Amino acid sequence: MIERYTRPEMGRIWTEENKYNIWLEIEILAVEAMAKLGQVPESAAKHIRATAKCDVDKINEIEKVTKHDVIAFLTNVEEYVGEDSRFIHLGMTSSDVLDTCLAVQMKQAGEMIIDDLEKLAVVLKRRALEFKHTVTVGRSHGIHAETTTFGLKMALWYDECQRNIVRMKRAVETSSVGMISGAVGTYEHLSPLVERHVCENLGLTPVNISTQVIQRDIHAEYMTTIAIISTLVEKIGIEIRHLQRTEVREAEEYFSVGQKGSSAMPHKRNPIASENISGQARLLRGNAHAAIENNALWHERDISHSSVERVIIPDSTISLDYILNRTIKLIDGLIVYPDRMEENLNMTFGLIHSQKVLLALARKGLKRQDAYVLVQRNSMKTWDEQIPLIDSLLADPDIMSHFEEEELRNLFSYDKVFDSVDFIFNRLGIK
């Protein structure tokens, strides 16, 4: 991932230095396990723990010759360890190191994403409460539908964020598996106790069964979880992009002092954060598809998955971490315009109350479709002539034969929606 979209905390997880240090720890732990089993001298294990090091630049130079990263790494480690290096990587295959290391990095990255989601949930909850009773129009098909509140929008996102926390925790747990099982996963040259020792010390669980690799359905689950999470922040971004449109202007991204919106038009204040979030969510969905494709490998393995994963897993965790944090700032600083929401509510001259009238007629004994015809007839008049719906209804004798004027006018109140809001907030535990 390019530096522009990389937060340093997440970026460090995917550095060559972190990767090689994890490789080194895996190799040392394996030697120590073998020493406990009496397969390696205790003195050699202690010497390896004390002297083993690696140098990223030197590894890269060696790899130019070997064309094999693990061999280049081992060659470099041998330079520091000396004769006892013959006990390093005994019975192991490259993927024992690569896949176990990847599991550690995925766990590190996943835990950071969980922390991001928990922070997002906090700010969504706070702003949901802030706008709990801020009336705004709900839209379906982009058209004014009925009354909702801006707090309910935030509460909806909060609830989905909670589900995503559960999903990510599950994905981290599922992917936190390592293997030290040898060339085709049969433990022919290794004891499973070595694998257990390595995994326990790295915070992993030994995978139930492997070939020469951990099966990639595990990684695909992790990546599809990332893609699902990205759809939440994209959903938020799309909503804000619409609300910031000049014709709507019910909310907008915070525009800082000195910020510029356009190189050509000084007046512009664009929803750039929301658009960036939407764009990167597309990338994450594409990466998830590639991860699914990685699960079908030849026989006990090939390396067609390897080049893909070197890109998509670091990039996806970095990108999601970035857009989650950008969404946190976006929601925290979002400017909301309740007065404009009220103006837009009144834009359709009371049409958003049409269902209330329909239901009231049905309760009075009219057949639903007959009531629908009566209300729709007056609603179309409001659409076409911009006559307030209440005035059209009051002038319709077929309507007024069922209502007193005050009773009809009371149907145009927003108060009823607040009862529903309290119920939903209580069910979500937002207090």
Closest residue by Cα to residue 361 from 416, 325, 390, 398: 398
**352-361, long-range: CB < 8 A, 24+ apart:** 352/137, 352/144, 352/145, 352/146, 352/147, 353/146, 353/389, 353/411, 353/412, 354/379, 354/389, 355/146, 356/411, 356/412, 356/416, 357/393, 357/399, 357/408, 357/411, 360/402, 360/403, 360/411, 361/399, 361/402
Structure tokens at 105: 């990095």
**Is residue 141 among the annotated active site residues?**
yes
DSSP, res 132:
T
Q: Provide the β-strand partners of residue 177.
A: 205
CA angle, residues 95, 96, 98, in degrees to nearest 5: 55
- H or E element, residue 326: helix 304-333
**Is residue 144 among the annotated active site residues?**
no
CB-hemisphere CA count at 13 Å for 200? 9
Q: Provide the β-strand partners of residue 136.
A: 148
Q: Who's near 142: CB < 8 A, 6+ residues apart? A: none
Q: Strands, E, within 240-334: which ranges?
A: 251-252
C-alpha span between 189 and 192 (Å, rounded)? 10
C-alpha span between 156 and 421 (Å, rounded)? 11
Q: Out of 140, 141, 263, 267, which one is annotated catalytic?
A: 141
Count of beta carbons in the 10 Å neighbourhood of residue 168: 24
Phi, psi of 13 (to 5 degrees): -60, -35
Residue with tokens 């909060």: 158
CB burial of residue 234 (10 Å; 0-12, 13-18, 19+): buried
Strands 205-206 and 177-178: parallel
Q: Out of 43, 68, 189, 262, which one is annotated catalytic?
A: 262
Count of beta carbons in the 10 Å neighbourhood of residue 256: 7
**Residues designated catalytic:** 141, 262
